[in-house]
Structure 1
Amino acid sequence: MDPKRKAITAAVVGTALGVGGLAVVAMPATAGDAPVLPQISAEELVRSTLNAKPMAFDGKVKVDNDLGLPAVGRTLPGASALSIDSAQVSTDGAGKSKMSLTEGSSQQTIVRNGETVWEYNSKDNSATKITIPPELAKEHKNKSDGQAVDPATVASELLGKVRESSTIAVDGTSSVANRAAYELVLTPKPTERTLLREIRVAIDEQTRMPLRVTVLANGTSSPAFEASFSEINFANQPASNFEFTPPKGAKVTEKTAEIDPKDRELAAQAKSEVKAVGDGWDTAITGKIPADALAKVGTAKDGEGNQVDPKALLSRFAKPVSGAWGSGWLVTTKVGTGVLTDDGRYAVGAVPEQVLFEALAAK
C-alpha cells in the first residue's frame, strides 16, 4: 500500500476518534487473576505515564476493529490500513524501528534505520529502498519531536488532550501480555458531547508504557476498537532487527525521498486552514481541502489500480446533508463522524453530527 495513503488514513481515523492516533497501538488481555499491585492515585499514574521515556522493545500486537466503518473494501484508497489482523513491532527506543503488518496471508514490512527506509510487500514480492537526504531527515525529526512516535508518546498526547474534561480513575489491575498493568479509565464529564463512553488504557506497572487501549462507544457493550500487545519483551534489540535483505526473487526499487514544492505548498495551505472548535472530548477539527488537492482526488485509484469516482464513492457510504453551513456528505461510525462539504470544507470528531454542523457554521 502507498505509505502516503496509509498515513492519511491513520491521521483521519485518529482525528475522528479525537485521540491523536491512539488507535494504532493496543490489544486483548491475557486470561488469569488480576495481579496485586501497590495502590496508586489516578493523577500519579497519569503523571508517571506522561514522564515515561521511550524504551527498546519487541512485541506482537493484535487489533480488534468494530468501528462500524463503511464496507467499501479496497475501493477507498488506504482503507485496508484499518483491517490489519496483527503486527510485530520492534524499536531501539531511539529512532530505529521495524514493523510487520499482517492482513490475511499477506504481510507488509517497514524498516527504518537512520536515513534508510525499506518497505516490503509479500503479496507481490516487491521491495522499495528509500534514502532520506540528511536535510529532509532533519526536517522530519524536528516536526516529529514531541509527536506520536511511540506508544508512550501517543498515550501522553491522549492524556494531555482530554484529562481536564474527563473523570479519571484507576479501575483495578489486569494482566496484558503476561505483564502486570494498572487499568486507567477516562470518562467524559457530563457536559461533553461525544459518541464515546470511555477509553481504557492498561499501563505497565514497571515501565509505565501503555500495553492496551480500548475504546467504548455509547450504546454498545463491546469495544468499538481494541489494540493490545499479546507478547512484549523489554530489552535492547540486536542491530540485525533493523537491517533488511530483500527475499530471493524480489523486485527491488530504489529511490530518494523528496518533497515536491507544490506538494509542500498544498500541505502548508491545508495546515493553515485547520482549526479546533471546542476542547476535550467534543472537539471538532475543521479545515478546507485546497482546490488543487481536490482536483487530484478526481484522479485517485483504488488498491487494484482502477480509477475512483469520488462522488460515486461518497454516495455508497455517506449520506447527503445540508444546513446553514452549506451542503455536503456525512460519514458516521460508532466512534466518530465526519462531514465533507461540496466546496471542500470538512469537520471531524468523536461527536454527534450536530456538533460538526455547528463547527462548520462557526466564524
Structure 2
Amino acid sequence: MAPYASDDTTSGRRKAVRYVVPVTVVGVAAATIGLVPALADSGDPDLPKITAQQLIEKIAASDVEQLSGTVKITTDLGLPDLGGLAGSLASAGGGAGDGSSADPSARLTELASGTHTLRIAADGPDRQKVSLLEKAAEYSVIHNGTDVWGYDSATDEVYHSKSPEGADAHGKENGGTGAEQAPTPKEFADQALKAVDGTTSVTVDGTVHVAGRDAYKLLVKPKDADSTVGAISIAVDAKTGLPLKFTLTPKSGGAAVVDAGFTQVHFAKPAASTFDFTPPKGAKVTEADDAGHSAADRAKGKGGAGLPGGEEFGGPDGLNVLGDGWDSIATFDTGSGSGLPSASKSSGGEAGAFGDLLGSFGDKATGKFGSGTVFSTRLVNALITDDGKVYAGAVTKDALVKAADAAAKK
C-alpha cells in the first residue's frame, strides 16, 4: 500500500494506521459501511489545534472499552424497491440454517437499507449487546463470554451459538475493545480508514458537538479516479478519541449513502445484568450447530452470530481482493459455470424468471473476459460474468471490467 499522506503533513504513514479492504461482498449483494447522523448541538466548540495525522493516531489509540448509548442508522444505497422481498428473506433466515428469525446472520442484514435505531452497550471484549428497536418489537444480539444469543421478541424465537475460547462475538480472536465489536461509528470509521494511503486527502475540517460531546471533524477524500467514494466525515470525540459520527457521501453527489452517529452516549460501566439472557419460557430455541453452523464455521465468521460491520460477517468461500485502498475489488467464483439463470435459456422455471428479473436491474458489459451484467448502487458496483465470476467494490463499472479483463489474461 502506498505511504500515508495528507494535506496537513508529508510524513510517511505511521504504525498507528493499520488497515485493510473496506468492502465485503456477500453473494450478488454488496453491502457497505453505514450509520446515521447524530443530533448535533448548535455552535462549534473551541478546541486546541490538531493535525490530521494526530487525529488519526488519536482514533487508533482510543481505549474505550465501556459504553452505552443510542445509535441511529440510515443507509441509502439507491437499491430498487423490492417490496417485502428483503424482509421475507430475513424472516426466512436468508437461506441460513433452519430459517430462525432470531439468526443474526440473516436478521441484521436489515441494516443495509432504511433507517434504524440501535441501543448498544459494551463492557470489554467479552460482553456486548445490540438491540434493534422496532415499532412494536425488539431484536437483540447479546454476547456474554462464550455465549452469543439472538432474540426476536416479535416471533418469540431465540438463536444460540458458542464463540470459540478467546474469540469475540464475530468469532475472531480478541484483539480489539468491546466498543469495536458493536456496530458503532468507531467500527465503521476503522473500516473506512483502512483505505487511507497516498491517494487520499485527509484534513481536519473544524469542530462539532455530537451527542453532547466536543468533537473534531476528520475529512477523508479519495483521489483515485476509479473510486465511487466522494468523501467521508468522521466526528472524533476530543477527550476519548472515539468516533461519534460517521458520514459517507458518494462521488456522484446527492444525499449521504450512509450516515452514522450517536444520539446519546455514556462511558460508565454498564450493569452486569445488561448482558444476562435466559430464553423466555415457551420460546423456540435454535442452536447454531442444529442449524448447520459448526464451531469451525463460526470461528471463520461464516454462518454464525457475528455482529455487523466487519469482514467477518459472512462471505463466500474463495474470496480474493485485487488491489488495495480505495480501488480494491473483491472477487470470487460462484462455481456455477454460468451467470444469472435465464428463462430464455432454460425451461422457464422460477430460477430463470428470477434471473431475468434480477438482470433487468443491471447493465450488460463486455470485454476480453466475455460478457456479463453490472449491478450498480450509489456506492458499490458488482459485475457478474456469464461464466459465474463476481467482481465488486466501491469502484466504477470500467474498473470492474478492467479487473475482469486482467484476470482473463492469466
Q: Tell me the TM-score range normalised by the shorter chain.
A: 0.7 to 0.9
Q: 1:308 to 1:233 in 2, by over 3 A?
A: farther
SS in 2 for 1:317: coil
CA deviation after TM superposition for structure 1 residue 56, in Å: 0.7
Verify: 1:171 aligned to 2:205, yes or no. Answer: yes
SS in 1 for 2:198: helix
CA deviation after TM superposition for structure 1 residue 343, in Å: 2.1
Where structure 2 has 5 or more consecutive residues not aligned to the other structure, the ranges are: 1-22, 91-108, 303-313, 342-349
Structure 1 stretch displaced more, 105-114 or 283-292:
283-292
Contact 2:252–2:378 (CA under 8 A) maintained in structure 1: no
Verify: 1:184 aligned to 2:218, yes or no. Answer: yes
Structure 1 stretch displaced more, 161-170 or 350-359:
161-170
CA deviation after TM superposition for structure 1 residue 357, in Å: 0.6
Contact 1:215–1:224 (CA under 8 A) maintained in structure 2: yes
Residue matched to 2:364: 320
For residues 138-149 of structure 1, the aligned pairs below 5 Å read 140-142=171-173, 145=175, 149=181
CA deviation after TM superposition for structure 1 residue 271, in Å: 4.9
CA deviation after TM superposition for structure 1 residue 161, in Å: 1.9
Residue matched to 1:225: 258
Residue matched to 2:9: none
Verify: 1:357 aligned to 2:401, yes or no. Answer: yes
Contact 2:204–2:217 (CA under 8 A) maintained in structure 1: yes
Q: 1:316 to 1:60 in 2, by over 3 A?
A: farther
Residue matched to 2:278: 245
Quote the Cα distance in structure 2 between the aligned partners of 1:131 and 1:210.
30
CA displacement, residues 44-77 of structure 1 (integer Å, 9 cap, x when unaligned): 0011111222421111111122220121244354
Verify: 1:289 aligned to 2:349, yes or no. Answer: no
Q: 1:136 to 1:182 in 2, by over 3 A?
A: closer
Verify: 1:95 aligned to 2:129, yes or no. Answer: no
Contact 1:71–1:317 (CA under 8 A) maintained in structure 2: no
Quote the Cα distance in structure 2 between the aligned partners of 1:37 and 1:269.
42
Residue matched to 2:195: 161
Quote the Cα distance in structure 1 between the aligned partners of 2:47 and 2:225.
32
Quote the Cα distance in structure 2 between the aligned partners of 1:253 and 1:262.
16
CA deviation after TM superposition for structure 1 residue 260, in Å: 8.2
Contact 2:250–2:257 (CA under 8 A) maintained in structure 1: yes
Verify: 1:12 aligned to 2:25, yes or no. Answer: yes
Contact 1:26–1:211 (CA under 8 A) maintained in structure 2: no
SS in 1 for 2:124: coil
Verify: 1:206 aligned to 2:239, yes or no. Answer: yes
Contact 2:64–2:240 (CA under 8 A) maintained in structure 1: no
SS in 2 for 1:141: coil
CA deviation after TM superposition for structure 1 residue 203, in Å: 0.7
Give, as a single letter, the amino acid of the residue that structure 1 aligns with 2:258: F
Give, as a single letter, the amino acid of the residue that structure 2 aligns with 1:207: T
CA deviation after TM superposition for structure 1 residue 93, in Å: 2.3
Quote the Cα distance in structure 2 between the aligned partners of 1:272 and 1:359.
17
Give, as a single letter, the amino acid of the residue that structure 2 aligns with 1:182: Y
TM-score (norm: length of structure 1): 0.79
CA displacement, residues 32-55 of structure 1 (integer Å, 9 cap, x when unaligned): 111111111111001111122242
CA deviation after TM superposition for structure 1 residue 200, in Å: 0.4
Q: How many residues align?
A: 335
Q: Structure 1 residue aligned with 2:154, among 116, 123, 147?
A: 123
Quote the Cα distance in structure 2 between the aligned partners of 1:86 and 1:56.
20
Percent sequence identity is: 29
CA deviation after TM superposition for structure 1 residue 179, in Å: 0.9
Residue matched to 2:6: none
Quote the Cα distance in structure 1 between the aligned partners of 2:356 and 2:299.
29
Contact 1:129–1:254 (CA under 8 A) maintained in structure 2: yes
Quote the Cα distance in structure 1 between the aligned partners of 2:70 and 2:133.
11
Quote the Cα distance in structure 1 between the aligned partners of 2:382 and 2:336.
19
CA deviation after TM superposition for structure 1 residue 162, in Å: 2.0
SS in 1 for 2:194: helix
Quote the Cα distance in structure 1 between the aligned partners of 2:162 and 2:169.
13
Give, as a single letter, the amino acid of the residue that structure 1 aligns with 2:157: S
CA displacement, residues 175-214 of structure 1 (integer Å, 9 cap, x when unaligned): 111111111000122x432222101011111111111110
Give, as a single letter, the amino acid of the residue that structure 2 aligns with 1:343: D
Quote the Cα distance in structure 2 between the aligned partners of 1:308 and 1:252.
32
Quote the Cα distance in structure 2 between the aligned partners of 1:312 and 1:103.
34
Q: Structure 2 residue aligned with 1:39, among 33, 41, 49?
A: 49
Q: 1:281 to 1:131 in 2, by over 3 A?
A: closer
Q: Structure 2 residue aligned with 1:259, among 269, 276, 294?
A: 294
Residue matched to 1:274: 320
Q: 1:109 to 1:153 in 2, by over 3 A?
A: closer
CA deviation after TM superposition for structure 1 residue 153, in Å: 5.1
SS in 1 for 2:262: strand
TM-score (norm: length of structure 2): 0.71
CA deviation after TM superposition for structure 1 residue 322, in Å: 2.7
Residue matched to 2:249: 216
Contact 1:121–1:127 (CA under 8 A) maintained in structure 2: yes
Where structure 1 has 5 or more consecutive residues not aligned to the other structure, the ranges are: 1-9, 299-306
